Structures are given as structure tokens and as C-alpha cells.
Amino acid sequence: MASQKKTPRVSLDLLKKYECSGPRYTSYPTAVEFNETFNHESYDAKLAEANRASAEPLSFYVHLPFCEERCSFCGCHVVITKKRDVSRRYIDYLKREIEMLADRLPDRRGVVQYHWGGGTPTYQSVDEIREIWKAVADRFEILPEAEVAIEVDPRVTTREQIDVLRELGFNRLSLGVQDFTPEVQAAINRNQDEKSTRDLYNYATSVGFDSMNLDLIYGLPLQTPKTFADSLKSVIELRPGRVAVYSFAFVPWIRGNQKGFDESTLPSAEEKLELFYLALDSFLGAGYRQIGMDHFALPEDELSVAMEKRALHRNFMGYTTKPASDMLGVGVSSIGDLAGAFAQNEKKLSRYYEAIDSGRMPVVRGFELGDDDKIRRYVIANIMCNFHLDRRLVEEKFGIDFDRYFAVELEELQIPEKHGFVTIGEDAIELTQAGRLFVRNVCMIFDSYLRKGNGDEKPVFSKTI
């Protein structure tokens, strides 16, 4: 396959015009709108409703929050401890939650997408990994065609753990890299030499992991185009099927661990954009395809094939080709998405344990979508995943007149259309190659909650660029 052409550059004036705080749209409505009127009783009702769709497969997420040290860039919900008994207690409660969940879904047990995230899932010992796997596999059926993935930190993952993961049935690994530059690693408290990462990658490949994902981050302290280019070159040499290149979400008002950064060491908006273009050109030039707003995949990878067919999907676990109408989440802070509602678990271990001890699901907040939410969710998801929206399909699916329903939005879209970022056709709306960088901004036009505002002077989202 011929490599794609170099992406057209955006002027600094346009960059400044579009740079703002905005959602990544892991969900719509976003988690900012979740509230405590949706509680464990609401969740029980939604589980009962979801159970009735007995022929439909599920997505299943397990959150394992433990890390021995905190990476200072991290935005995930983690628990930092070297005391293994803390983790041991958590696993006992996690198993109880899984059992409670299975009891509420007696007729619906097939799983087509299964993911362990964290934290650091390989913080757990080999025996604990087996134990957690068994807790799910004894109660739910991991379907033969399922994508079974786990996030792996090469610094702490052993070959024995890789062997066990493969033996159990995991078929995709996601390896955190972020950046191989020692100075950048020191600045983010994540010292990870390239050789050990390469060795682990090669070993995983040798034992049968043929679906591998490497994660990079651009916009970190002390990153420069020259050093980041070296990291990109090293990743491309490994030739993983998929690569994620995330924008560093600098939100110290939300994540206290980021307050220690010297802001003068962070790339400017213009420099950060150049880092992204460097990644974009490097991966496109190496034969990868751009997937969604921050992923790249080889042409033969399932993500590329799905995007070619405009059949890519996205949920709290990321981009997927294995859509399921409902998603279950277990563990602290995990989020479920089922029967037209989002449900999030307690974030504090003590409250999570208290809920399970009382015999109730540990859901503390959520959101039930209305009809308008479902329409906008569909629109935003299609733009985020496929850079394309079939207007007539929206009309057919929801029984609306698209032009009338989204009259305000269509008028606002004329601005990015004028800048060459969007084409608005009679039957479809499509992002151009240059406009893909601004996919979050385009989706924000369809977000009715942003129009209302949050009443808070501080932004609740990271910068869109």
C-alpha cells in the first residue's frame, strides 16, 4: 500500500481559534453530566432490562487500580501502594462484585469484548491474574471471537506473566511507552529503558500475541521534535499492528499529581501541534492509517478494515470492531453503559467495600439518556470514529428531519467548512484530512450540554489540540 501524503499544515491563527477546552467524547453525555440521582437501585433496574436482551453479547471491563509508583502525567484512577495485602483485599471484593453482577444477569453471559485496565494490571501476581480470570470465566462466557485485551507496563511485567496471559486466552496487549527519551521519562517519573520494552514486545510476539498496541503521548515536559522523532522511529521499527498517540491532558486542577510540573517545560500549543504532525506524518509514511482522533493501524488490522467500511465503534475501553449493545464495568471507578444509561462505581476503596458488604452494587452515580441524548450520541460517535456522518441514516434510525433538527448546528458547521475542515454534502458530513485534527471541536457543535455551560469558571476538560 502506498503511504499517505503529508498532512496539510494548519496556520497558527487557525490553531489559536480552535484551541479550547473540550471533551474527548469517550461517552455522550460526558461523565461531567453524571449525577447521584442515578444510584445502585437505578443500576439494578437497568441490569434487569439488559438481561432481557439475552441473545446479545456484552463488553466487560475490569479495573485493577494498583501501581507501585505514580507517573506524574497520569490521569487514570489509581491506588499507589507497595503493600500487597491492600491489593489482596481488593481482589476478594472484586470477585464478590462479579458474582453479584452475574446473579443479576442470569440469561445474558456472552462476552465479545473483554478488557483489563488500570492502574497496572500486571501489578498483580501470576496467581492473582489466574484468580481474577477464573472469577469472570466461571460466570460469563468469553466468546471464541472475543477481543481479550490487557494494559501492560513493560517495567514490571515478567515473561511468566506474559505466558500466563496467553495461556488464559488474552489475545491483545497494550504496552505503555509514552516516550523513550530519558529526560522526558525523568520529568514524568517513568523510567523505562527502550531495550527492556523491546525485549518484552519481542517475547510476547514469540509466544503468540499477534495483536499488539503501543501507547505514546505527545505534549509531555521537555519533549522536542528531535527527541520525539527518535521515539517514533523506535516504535515503527517494532511494527505493532496498532499505535495510540494521545495528547497529554494537562489538568492540574483535577489531577493533583500534575501540579509539580514546571509549566515552562511543557511544549507550547504550536510546538505540541508540531509534535502531533510529526507522529502523523511518521505513521502515515510508514504505511499506517489514521484511526479516529489518536490511533494508527496497519491496513490489515481490524481497526483499519472497520474504518474503511465506516463500521468502527468506540466505548470506554477505546476503539473496537466488536460492538456490544451493553458494557459492564467492575472495580472502583469503572463505568458501565447499558440499557440507555451510564453507571459509575465508587472511587474510594472504603466506600466500594462498604457497598458490597451491604449487598448492593457499588454504583454511586450515572446518567439515563433521553431521546435527544441518544440521537446526539450516535452523531458524535460516528464523527469521532469514522470522520463521517450519514445524514439520511440518522433520519431513518431516529425518525427526524436532520436539517430541521440540527439547523443551528449546520449553521455553525459552516465555519469549519469555510476553513477546509468539513465538507457538508446533501447526504453526509465528512471531515477532511486537515480537519481530522479538530474532530473534537466539530463534535462539540453537536453537544447540547456545552451550550448550557457548567457554571464553573475552571475548565473541566483538557485542550482539544
Nearest in space to 117 (alpha carbons), one of 372, 307, 306, 327: 327
Do residues 462 and 247 lie in contact, with contact meaning Cβ atoms separated by under 8 Å? yes
Alpha helices in 56-211, H assignment, sequence order:
84-104, 126-137, 159-168, 182-187, 194-206
Q: Answer yes or no: do 414 and 432 share one domain.
A: yes
What is the tally of structural domains in the chain? 2
Q: Answer yes or no: do 223 and 256 share one domain.
A: yes
Q: Is residue 366 part of a domain?
A: no
Grouping H, G, I as helix, E, B as strand and the rest as coil, residue 79 is strand
Q: Answer yes or no: do 6 and 81 share one domain.
A: no
Instruction: Determine the Cα–Cα distance for residues 374 and 390; give it in Å rounded to an integer.
Output: 16
Nearest in space to 47 (alpha carbons), one of 114, 96, 112, 108: 108
Quick one: DSSP state of residue 10?
A: P
Q: Answer yes or no: do 22 and 38 share one domain.
A: no
Block means of pLDDT (10 residues each) for the chain, length 465 residues? Answer: 59 82 91 96 98 95 94 86 94 98 96 95 97 98 96 95 98 95 93 93 96 94 95 97 90 68 84 92 95 92 91 86 90 97 98 98 98 98 94 98 98 95 96 91 96 62 71
Nearest in space to 290 (alpha carbons), one of 171, 229, 298: 298
* pLDDT score recorded for residue 3: 44
* pLDDT score recorded for residue 456: 54
Instruction: Determine the Cα–Cα distance for residues 450 and 444; give it in Å rounded to an integer.
Output: 7
Q: Answer yes or no: do 9 and 73 share one domain.
A: no
Domain around 151:
33-327
Q: Is residue 350 part of a domain?
A: no
Q: Answer yes or no: do 267 and 239 share one domain.
A: yes
pTM of the model: 0.93
* pLDDT score recorded for residue 18: 85
Torsion of CA 445, 436, 151, 331, to 10 degrees: 10
Q: Is residue 46 part of a domain?
A: yes
